[in-house]
Structure 1
Amino acid sequence: MQIILTLEQKKNIFIELGKFLSQFSSTKNLKNDTVINNELFFEDFLNLIELSQSHNGWYTKENVIFAIESWAEALTEDNLNQWISSYDFSTVNAKTVGLILAGNIPLVGFHDFICVLLSGHKALIKTSSNDQHLLPFLAKYIISIEPELNNYITFVEGKLENFDAVIATGSNNTSRYFDYYFKDKPSIIRKSRNSVAVLNGTESKEQMIALGKDIFSYFGLGCRNVSKLFIPKGYNFDLFFNGMFPYQDVIKYEKYANNYDYNKAVFLMSNFKLLDNEFLTIKEDTSYSSPIASVFYEYYHDLDEIKKRLETEKDQIQCIVSNNLIENSVAFGTTQKPQLWDYADNLDTIDFLISLA
């Protein structure tokens, strides 16, 4: 007979997962003997971290550790309590929710996975071919803590079948397929988005260095990475480039360097005017989506004009970074450190899951 886990039990499982993840960092991996089932999983997870780049060339050890550290910081008792306290899960009628995950950055679909399980639903998961190892490993770990979760977590290859609702993440092209294929199911369909920074020239050097983190984390591959700057007429780029300088070692990574060389060559052959610091190109462009190793910028004359535009085009934007210039903007350096209650596309996933009839 299937056991119904209480919200408190599920919350405690993810607290324990946070403790497990907190052992792994960019400075030192410290094994904690009080972590549940650590003797079974610690060394294997270390090996998986080391092997991640062989599975996906963009998943460097540094990028995987960055994702792990972010989730370790998020999955604390205080954060989980703050997050779930505003919801009423008592009316949830358990369903099977299909998850089609992206693979642009490590564990990018992990938040949807947690939302489904905390809401009391079953997760039917199709991982991206680019990220097939990290989430299944963490699922195996939490099942070791609570074996009943084995009835709530299923990974599938090929076609999704026998599900009641779906959360699918992909490109603008794949979203059209998702919209058609899942038209008869309750769904959240996520498309491509980008993040922007709005500057006015009064930012500090420390803020510009933090902006570099928003640009270069995960090599800029995430929808929360800043790919576009809005700057006032006459803006002096010296402070910006000084802030980018600490990230110069990114060019030592071959896949990034190849993209830098290729995109720079394409821009130059098209006679585009570029600013360049030998590891990042800056190009004036109205688009939000810039290629790897480049950032677009656009001048503005009036801040109110930018506020209206960003509101009008909000469906293309994931995050806005500014020094409180724009309402609901986030602080420099925080785009890839979202809180549990920061939902992709500003769609409350828990509300969606609770509402499933």
Structure 2
Amino acid sequence: MSSLKNRVKAFVKLGSFLDQFSSKNTKRREGVINNDLFFDAFKHQLKLAQEHNGWFTDSNIQFAIKGWSELLTEEKFNDWLKPYEFNEDQVSRKVALITAGNIPLVGFHDFLCVLLAGHSVIVKQSSNDKHLLPMLSKYLEYAEPEFKGKISFTEDKLEGFDAVIATGSNNTARYFEYYFGKKPHIIRRNRNSVAVLDGTESKAQLEALGEDVFRYYGLGCRNVSKLFVPENYNFDAFFKAMYKQKSIIDSAKYANNYDYNKAVYLMSQFELLENGFLMLKEDEQFASPIATLFYETYKDVESLRKRLEDEKENIQCVVADGFSRKEVDFGQTQLPQLYDYADDVDTIEFLLKI
């Protein structure tokens, strides 16, 4: 078995490779390992991914790739993995990975964790995001030969696995529990992110919040889908800050959702606040439709803290300034670190114990 050090080196090489595709100016760089084999091939897969899924725009794919290229560094791996005890004599297990397809490379962190832990992975991808990970897997096999034979993909029924990491909706989670519950597993359900405002936010903070709301068209579990605001909150500053995101309505898919949801709300005679590309609707639910933010008012901060603690199983991130110990800064929800585990479940710890 390769050492953890070699496995990390392979992902660091992948980070350097990905960095070439992290901006509009895709440019082949000298010195990037295996570029002759993979540069043009990956460029083609990026094109296919965009053609296959209208939500996967150039901007959103580049953003996802940039995020990973900045995380896959030796320094960040060392900081992340320092607390864990890796046993190179550990039996290698086969881990089934069922990925979502809501944002580009959304299952990459789980994939990374399985391989770093020394296991094999069999991936069942969402049809919405099936072009990028297989090519990156091939790159890794060239960067670290020990990975050869340890990565496979299937569209068929999963068989012959020892553990499962599955991500889906609340409905599919029940299905996953039924079929995979007897194996060691991590099964993730719907979660949403919220922002807590108190009226003292700066223009810069509110503009940054726009990134938390609109990046990936709001399709990620780390996207803010709900606001908590004080009673009698004035939304003027909020809407002024959101104006920076107005070009999102130029996306036909987003515009269609905006028009449809607005028509439904108006026919139902719901009260709305809107600015031509975003609707605000007072609602107790956390998951809002595309082009819509739900909001609720609060009277006192302590009651709200308790409410969100009680609801923590439904919440991925809380964006705020001085509200809670685990809050995320404005504009940072789609920039998680390697140690920011989905649903607060430590994937590496799970994998080292199976």
TM-score normalized by the length of structure 2: 0.98
Q: Which of 258, 278, 288 matches 1:290?
A: 288
Contact 2:93 2:120 survives alignment (8 Å): yes
Q: For 1:36-58, what per-residue CA distance to the aligned partner results, in whole angstroms no more than 9, with x for missing partners?
A: 01121112222222332211111
Which string of whole-angstrom CA distances, capped at 9 and with x for unpartnered residues, describes residues 258-317 of structure 1?
000000111111111100010000000000000001100000000101100110010000
Q: Which residue of 1 aligns with 2:155?
A: 157
**Separation in 1, partners of 2:207, 2:26:** 26
- Corresponding residue of 1:107: 105
Q: Report the Cα distance in structure 2 between the residues aligned to 1:16 and 1:242, rounded to whole angstroms.
A: 42
- Quote the residue 1:231 is aligned against: 229
Q: Any idea what SS the aligned residue of 2:148 has? A: helix
- The offset of 1:24, in angstroms, is 1.6
Q: Which residue of 1 aligns with 2:28?
A: 31
Contact 2:24 2:62 survives alignment (8 Å): no
Distance between the aligned counterparts of 1:53 and 1:18, measured in 2? 21
User: Is 2:39 the counterpart of 1:50?
Assistant: no
Q: What residue number does 1:307 align with?
A: 305
User: What is the letter of the counterpart of residue 11 of structure 2?
Assistant: F
Q: Quick one: percent identity of the two aligned structures?
A: 57
**Is 1:61 matched up with 2:58?**
yes
1:193–1:316 CA contact under 8 A, matched in 2:
yes
Residue aligning to 2:167: 169
Residues 77-88 of structure 1 mapped to structure 2, 5 A cutoff: 77-88=74-85
Quick one: which amino acid aligns to residue 224 of structure 1?
R
Structure 2 equivalent of residue 337 of structure 1: 335
Give the conservation status (yes or no) of the 8 Å contact 1:195–1:226: yes
Alpha carbons 1:52, 1:61 under 8 Å: kept: no
SS state at 2:309 partner: helix
Correspondence for 1:15: 12
Aligned residue number for residue 250 of structure 1:
248
- Distance in 2 (alpha carbons) for counterparts of 1:327 and 1:266: 38
Counting only pairs closer than 5 Å after superposition, residues 163-202 of structure 1 correspond to structure 2 as 163-202=161-200
Three-state SS of the structure 2 residue aligned to 1:215 is helix
Q: Report the Cα distance in structure 1 between the residues aligned to 2:179 and 2:46, rounded to whole angstroms.
A: 35
Contact 2:48 2:131 in 1 (8 A): no
Partner amino acid for 2:53? Answer: N
The one-letter code sitting in structure 1 at the alignment partner of 2:328 is V
CA offsets, 1:109-130, max 9 Å, x none?
A: 0000000000001001101111
CA-CA distance at 1:242 after TM superposition: 1.3
Question: Could you tell me whether the CA contact under 8 Å between 2:49 and 2:56 is conserved in 1?
Answer: yes
- Give the conservation status (yes or no) of the 8 Å contact 2:46–2:131: no
Rounded to whole Å, the distance in 2 between the matches of 1:247 and 1:92 is 49
- Please give the alpha-carbon distance, in whole angstroms, between the structure 2 residues aligned to 1:152 and 1:18: 20
| Deviation string, structure 1 residues 87-134 (Cα, Å, up to 9, x no partner) | 001163210000000001100000000000000010011011111111
Quick check: 9-18 or 321-330, which moved more? 321-330
Q: Secondary structure at the match of 1:295?
A: strand
Q: How far apart are the structure 1 equivalents of 2:242 and 2:347?
A: 35
Q: 2:49 touches 2:130 (CA, 8 Å); kept in 1? A: no
Separation in 1 of the partners of 2:97 and 2:110?
A: 8
The amino acid across from 1:87 in the alignment is: Y
Query: 1:22 deviation in Å?
Result: 0.9
Q: Which amino acid aligns with 1:233?
A: E
In structure 2, what is the equivalent of residue 323 of structure 1?
A: 321
Alpha-carbon separation, structure 1, partners of 2:23 and 2:211:
15
SS at match of 2:294: strand
**Equivalent position amino acid for 2:248 in 1:** V
Q: In structure 2, list runs of 5 or more residues that go unmatched.
A: none
Q: Give, in whole Å, the separation in 2 of the partners of 1:160 and 1:324.
A: 45
| CA shift digits 1:186-229 (9 cap, x unpaired) | 10000000000001010110011110000000000000000000
| Post-superposition offset of 1:141 | 0.9
Give the SS at the match of 2:350. Answer: helix
- Cα drift, residue 254 of structure 1: 0.3
